[in-house]
């Protein structure tokens, strides 16, 4: 019979890790539940799934875990709500009682009963992942990339492959690319791994993994495996400092579907050659200008702005039924050429919000002059492109 005792703080942290992949039971597959299984060696395996992703973790228990019994599946959100209501310094005992679980804590407390789910639950993937498929990716760099990609991609359920970030490896080199098929924006970034990777590529749905990557907070890097249907991501090397979970949570695995379809492989090639000259503009000043633009935007303007550079001046214009704006921003440098074009201001604003430097650089791609590169000042390993627009009240 399932019977374990565990610290509230440890169990609450485990539930925090598992929450991003809890489903809504829309198809009655039990994906709103949590699975808990004793391992027989003083720990338990816990997992959740939303039918597309799975999170699996091993948690050290204080007592129990000496058998391989499975607890009845219970509703995750109700279980988490109960556990989070218990003080952090309490020891919690969880026991199976036929098809329910009983939660005990404190002295002279009547146990809380949580009714089990009678429909079962989707099992964890049992795929055999070849070791030759493994690639290693630094975690912190991947977090930064996911934040950048999420700034330009809006998930499209009908074409999920374009919700992805492409991770391409070759030796120590790792290239990240993504495409926004709605606004026609792209993203590229390049880093170096501490390990020698095979020539390979992985597609990961960016917004989904961004929610789950916190489960690897104790790790320096991630190991990614794949077969024809599933990608599995494991924690690689632990941080040298004391793990945040105090070593009580380990063997963390994240599974997600491997999407099929055609994803562009030449995104990075389009950035070559880069513009020979960039305009350098203060990020805060331009975002403030965009706030004023938004204030007078109407349905006819379409969010379009005039964008003119002349010497050391950048001039932003917007005309609408609510008024007119002509903002002069003094650039940080003097541009030897002048240009005048139209952008959708939101296409630039989304990107500026994740640019880490006070100023950013913008310039037209020589081989693709209808697309402009936007990047942090002095950086070439993290870049975006935005397209120019045609038409509207602000046509130059």
SS3 289: helix
Beta carbons within 8 Å of 260's beta carbon, 6+ residues apart: 161
Helix (H) or strand (E) holding 304: strand 304-310
CB 335 within 8 A of CB 312: yes
- Whether the CB-CB separation of 101 and 74 falls below 8 Å is answered with yes
Both tokens of 3, joined, read 């019977």
Extract the tokens encoding 245: 């979970």
From the list 209, 206, 177, 210, the residue with the least C-alpha distance to 191 is 177
- In the prediction, which pLDDT does 24 show? 93
What is the dihedral angle through the alpha carbons of 301, 372, 141, 261, rounded to the nearest 10 degrees?
Answer: 80
Q: What is the pLDDT of residue 119?
A: 82
pLDDT one digit per residue (tens) for the chain, 396 residues:
999 999 999 999 999 999 999 999 988 889 999 999 999 999 999 999 999 999 999 999 999 988 999 999 999 999 999 999 999 989 999 999 999 999 999 876 789 999 999 888 999 999 988 888 899 999 999 999 999 999 999 898 888 999 999 999 999 999 999 999 999 999 999 999 888 999 999 999 999 999 999 999 999 999 999 998 999 999 988 887 767 788 899 899 999 999 888 899 999 999 999 999 999 999 999 999 999 999 999 988 899 999 999 999 999 999 999 999 999 999 999 999 899 999 999 999 999 999 999 999 999 999 999 999 999 999 999 999 999 998 544 444
Q: What is the reported pTM?
A: 0.91
pLDDT at 312: 96
Place of tokens 């074009």: 341
Instruction: Specify burial of residue 123 (Cβ count, 10 A radius: 0-12, 13-18, 19+).
Output: exposed
- Identify each DSSP E strand in 242-285 by its residue range: 249-257, 279-282
CA 214/CA 151 separation, integer angstroms: 18
What was the pLDDT predicted at 362?
98
């Amino acid at each position: 019979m399932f019977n374990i005792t565990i610290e509230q703080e440890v169990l609450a942290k485990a539930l925090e890790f598992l929450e991003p992949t809890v489903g809504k039971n829309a198809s009655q597959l039990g994906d709103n539940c949590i699975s808990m299984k004793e391992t027989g060696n003083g720990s338990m395996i816990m997992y959740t799934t939303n039918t597309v992703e799975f999170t699996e973790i091993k948690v050290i228990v204080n007592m129990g875990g000496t058998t391989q019994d499975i607890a009845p599946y219970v509703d995750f959100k109700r279980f988490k709500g109960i556990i989070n209501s218990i003080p952090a310094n309490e020891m919690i005992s969880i026991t199976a009682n036929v098809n329910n679980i009983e939660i005990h804590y404190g002295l002279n407390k009547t146990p809380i009963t949580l009714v089990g789910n009678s429909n079962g639950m989707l099992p964890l993937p049992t795929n055999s992942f070849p070791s030759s498929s493994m690639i290693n990716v630094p975690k912190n760099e991947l977090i930064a990339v996911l934040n950048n990609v999420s700034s330009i991609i809006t998930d499209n359920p009908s074409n999920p492959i374009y919700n992805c970030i492409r991770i391409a490896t070759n030796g120590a080199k790792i290239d990240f690319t993504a495409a926004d098929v709605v606004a026609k924006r792209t993203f590229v970034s390049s880093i170096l791994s501490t390990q020698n990777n095979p020539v390979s590529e992985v597609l990961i749905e960016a917004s989904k993994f961004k929610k789950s990557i916190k489960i690897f907070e104790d790790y320096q890097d991630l190991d990614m495996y794949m077969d024809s249907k599933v990608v599995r991501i494991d924690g690689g090397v632990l941080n040298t400092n004391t793990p945040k979970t105090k070593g009580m949570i380990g063997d963390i695995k994240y599974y997600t579907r491997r999407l099929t379809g055609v994803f562009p492989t030449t995104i990075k090639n389009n950035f070559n050659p880069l513009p020979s000259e960039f305009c350098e503009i203060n990020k805060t000043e331009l975002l403030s200008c965009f706030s004023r633009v938004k204030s007078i935007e109407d349905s006819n303007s379409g969010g379009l702005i005039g964008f003119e550079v002349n010497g050391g001046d950048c001039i932003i214009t917007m005309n609408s039924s609510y008024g007119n704006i002509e903002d002069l921003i003094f650039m940080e440098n003097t541009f030897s050429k002048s240009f005048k074009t139209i952008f959708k201001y939101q296409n630039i604003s989304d990107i500026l919000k994740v640019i880490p430097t006070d100023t950013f650089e913008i310039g037209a791609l020589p081989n693709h002059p209808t697309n402009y590169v936007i990047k942090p000042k002095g950086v070439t390993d993290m870049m975006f492109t935005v397209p120019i627009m045609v038409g509207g009240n602000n046509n130059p």
